[in-house]
Amino acid sequence: MQPAQAQGSGATPGGGNRALKRWGPIVGVAAVAAIVIGVVVASGGDDDEASTATTAAAATTVETDDGASPTTAATTPASSSDGTDAAPATTTVAEITYPLDFATAQEQGLVDQIDWGPRCDTSTGQIAVPDFFAQPCMAPFTGDNGGATDVGVTADEITIVYYEGQEGDPIIAYISDAVAVDDTNGDQFATMEKIIDYYETYFEMYGRSVNLITFEGSGGAADDVAARADAARIAEEYQPFVVFGGPALTSAFADELAAREIMCISCTPGQPTQFYVDRDPYVWGLDGSQAQKQAHAVEFLTKQIVGKNAEYAGDEFVDQPRRLGLLYLESSGASKDLADAYVAAMEAAGAPFAEVIAYELNPATIQATASQVISKLKSAGITTIVFSGDPVAPRDFTREATAQEYFPEWFVSAAGLVDTNAFGRTYDQEQWQHAFGVTQGAVRVNPETIGSYYIYNWFNGEPPPADGTIGLIQPSPALFFAVVQGVGPELTHESFKEALFASDGTTAAISQPFLSWGEDLWPEPDYLGLDDATVFWWDPAAVGPDEVRREGEGMYRFVDGGTRYLPGAWPTDERLFDPEGAVAIYDTPPEGEAPPTYASPTGGS
């Protein structure tokens, strides 16, 4: 296995102003749909070389009925005469203003006067879980948490609704059946319950527990009417603080929830920035926006691909100057707007598309569509197809291209799940040997050693019921609980937003993407997570596991060990199809990213 290379100039910035920003919510997610690559929680810590970066918000002080803050005196564990811990004796030394993370407690001289409990590793100041990106320890809360602070939040509970699409939805089945993902809604509900248990065990909840409600959608992934009806029912019947998930192909669900002032995470397909601005602070995502994905693709294409011959295409094109054509999925008005923006961006960069074709995801007509599309691209002399669509259609498009003896380059334009081995293996391999692209997913690591599957197994002593989709289920609660413990007792939709917008983002890594929210990195406010990207190419001869741990032939190789770049930092040197330094999967985490080791709560290792 090739080692990871040092990160390039686009490497994630660390730290920030710790005087203003002291805690670290955030998750890293690799793909968002029927299957995913993985997810981890990023860490907090000091701004020095020996620690991971922190994000933070100013400490939250909640006014109680008598006007006092819900502070509590720190306690000092007492010791018996033989040096063993005796029953703790409470000693008033200072009042704590919540939230209080370990690093801040050190600065205030309170660390040794607080009983951090077994969930905290006081040698690192981080939660004692086998996760390199573990969150900082938070001082255990006592006192008055302020009671009901927002809809779905009482003194004792936070109500969360976990949404899963209708079992047997034909469009989702069409996508997931291509890679034989067989997790049921029941499997996913059971997995989410255990994930919630994990976070409640290790994260500070300020006296509240989770009231988890599982909900199955009443309509298909693209059914606007059913989506609105489901959102209305959830808001009226359950009145949650937050909803995890939503229909995969309509924004109506998120729109209805926001109108009723209910927050949701990963509840809509990607929308233009204004959609989120207009529904602030109620709609949040983890995957990058389509506009952000396009920005990466345009920068990569113009710096490394445009103006050169199509050297990775079939024999008929290798000596010809590249001629790019855009093939994109049109599922709504937003799709057309985003495609128009892509076209405009390439024109502005001096590299206009020679052909632009939209297609519809319809299982009944996709074969006929593929025949027409490929014929048109071939007739137009397109050497390089820039693909921005769903993960199933390339199966039909590539088979048709081979049938028509047309062998262009295939550029994967940060298209979700097209960049996974599970789907790549379903495409015509004569075609896909010419495939490369940009992805916001991270280079893969053996799931037995790191990430959501590994952590679930460690905590529960057994694999998750939804072992194929655990990486999809984990991100929303990972983000939510990290923010909750960082916000403190006064949990509201506004304080949630303020915390995310105040954060500096996740720790730089090879094995996980960089995520941030706010107004610092992109030209417009960012309500979505993923920010950086890397580049890969398809190796049809590589052998190894796919994203659901099935051994097989054909894998993506990540250039330069999976080095990641933020916008504006892509290099000009091109290393596609160069095996030197390219990695398909790490057997063990990249150097410096291995998680610490702790005994499992179930008694294992």
Q: How far apart are CA 164 and CA 183, in angstroms?
A: 12
Residue 40 · residue 123 · CB < 8 Å: no
461 plus 559 within the same structural domain: no
Proportion of the chain above pLDDT 90, given as a percent: 71
Residue 60: inside a domain: no
Q: What is the pLDDT of residues 566-578, one digit of tens each?
A: 999 999 999 999 9
Could you tell me the CATH number of the domain that includes residue 465? 3.40.50.2300
Residue 571 · residue 8 · CB < 8 Å: yes
Lowest mean pLDDT among 88-97, 471-480, 554-563: 88-97
332 plus 403 within the same structural domain: yes
Residue 157 · residue 208 · CB < 8 Å: yes
310 plus 366 within the same structural domain: yes
In this prediction, residue 179 carries a pLDDT of 63
465 plus 558 within the same structural domain: no
Residue 435: inside a domain: yes
Chain centroid, CA 191 distance in Å: 18
Structure tokens that stand for 549 in this block: 């741990």
In this prediction, residue 175 carries a pLDDT of 67
* Block residue for tokens 């979700």: 416
Structure tokens that stand for 471 in this block: 């990486």
429 plus 462 within the same structural domain: no
Residue 604: inside a domain: no
Structure tokens that stand for 321 in this block: 């100057």
Lowest mean pLDDT among 26-30, 194-198, 331-335, 451-455: 26-30
Q: Please enumerate in sequence order all residues whose Cβ is within 8 A of that of 448, keeping only pairs 6 or more positions apart, or say none.
A: 454
432 plus 577 within the same structural domain: yes
Q: Is the pLDDT of residue 81 over 50?
A: no
* Block residue for tokens 């290790």: 202
Structure tokens that stand for 545 in this block: 């596991």
Could you tell me the pLDDT band of residue 8, with boundaries at 50, 70 and 90? very low
166 plus 183 within the same structural domain: yes
Q: How far apart are CA 312 and CA 534, in angstroms?
A: 19
Could you tell me the pLDDT band of residue 94, with boundaries at 50, 70 and 90? low
Residue 370: in which H helix or E strand, if any?
helix 366-379
Provide the number of structural domains found in the chain. 2
Residue 73 · residue 501 · CB < 8 Å: no
Average pLDDT over residues 121-145: 94
Q: How far apart are CA 379 and CA 357, in angstroms?
A: 13
Lowest mean pLDDT among 33-47, 230-244, 313-327, 364-378: 33-47
Mean pLDDT over the full length of the chain: 84
| pTM greater than 0.75 (yes/no) | yes
Residue 77: inside a domain: no
Question: Mind giving me the DSSP string for 416-474?
Answer: TTTTSHHHHTTS-HHHHTTEEEEESS--EE-TTTSSHHHHHHHHHSS--SSTTTHHHHS
Q: Which range of residues forms the domain containing residue 394?
A: 291-439+533-586
What are the CA-CA distances from residue 574 to residues 136, 300, 534 (Å)? 39, 9, 12
The amino acid that residue 89 corresponds to is A
Of 591 and 72, the one with more pLDDT: 591
Closest CA to 167 of 210, 228, 214, 229: 214
Q: Could you tell me where the DSSP H helices lie in 167-300? A: 170-177, 185-202, 224-233, 252-259, 273-278, 290-300
Q: Is the pLDDT of residue 7 over 80?
A: no
In this prediction, residue 333 carries a pLDDT of 73
333 plus 219 within the same structural domain: no
Q: What is the pLDDT of residues 404-447, one digit of tens each?
A: 999 999 999 988 889 999 999 999 999 999 999 999 999 999 98
* Block residue for tokens 């009226």: 236
Residue 103: inside a domain: no
Lowest mean pLDDT among 46-55, 320-329, 495-504: 46-55
162 plus 182 within the same structural domain: yes
Q: Torsion-angle region of residue 498: left (phi > 0), alpha (psi -120 to 50) or beta? A: alpha
Q: Could you tell me where the DSSP H helices lie in 99-144? A: 102-107
Average pLDDT over residues 487-508: 93
Q: Is the pLDDT of residue 265 over 60?
A: yes
Residue 316: inside a domain: yes
Residue 91: inside a domain: no
Residue 592: inside a domain: no
Lowest mean pLDDT among 68-77, 174-183, 250-259, 486-495: 68-77
* Burial grade of 450 (CB within 10 A; 0-12, 13-18, 19 or more): buried
The packing angle between helices 393-403 and 366-379, to 10°, is 50
Average pLDDT over residues 244-266: 96
Q: How far apart are CA 393 and CA 369, in angstroms?
A: 10
345 plus 375 within the same structural domain: yes
Q: How far apart are CA 422 and CA 286, in angstroms?
A: 21
In this prediction, residue 604 carries a pLDDT of 61
**Of the candidates 493, 520, 555, which is a domain's last residue?**
493
Residue 309 · residue 357 · CB < 8 Å: no
Average pLDDT over residues 486-503: 96
264 plus 198 within the same structural domain: yes
460 plus 339 within the same structural domain: no
